[in-house]
Amino acid sequence: MLIREAGRRPSVEAFETLEQQLGRFDVRLREMQQENLGDRAKAALSNLRGGRPLSEEDKAVLRSLVVGDAESYLKMENNLHDWMNELARLEKEMERLAADGSDESLLQLRGVVRDAMRLMPSIRGYMDERARLDRFCTAMSSLDEANRNLLVQVVNEMLSSRSR
Asked if 155 and 49 count as a contact pair (C-beta separation under 8 A), the reply is no
pLDDT of residue 163: 54
* Mean pLDDT for all residues in the chain: 93
Mean pLDDT of 67-75: 97
Count CB-CB contacts under 10 A for residue 68: 18
Helix, strand and coil percent figures for the chain, each rounded to 5: 85, 0, 15
Domains of the chain, by residue range, sit at 2-160
pLDDT of residue 159: 81
Mean pLDDT of 102-108: 96
pLDDT of residue 142: 86
Of the pLDDT bands very low, low, confident and very high (cuts 50, 70, 90), residue 55 is: very high
Mean pLDDT of 27-42: 92
Q: Say whether pLDDT at 73 is over 60.
A: yes
Mean pLDDT of 126-143: 94
Mean pLDDT of 120-146: 94
Of the pLDDT bands very low, low, confident and very high (cuts 50, 70, 90), residue 156 is: confident
Of the pLDDT bands very low, low, confident and very high (cuts 50, 70, 90), residue 24 is: very high
The length of the chain in residues reads: 164
pLDDT of residue 97: 97
Of the pLDDT bands very low, low, confident and very high (cuts 50, 70, 90), residue 164 is: low
Q: Say what the pTM is.
A: 0.85
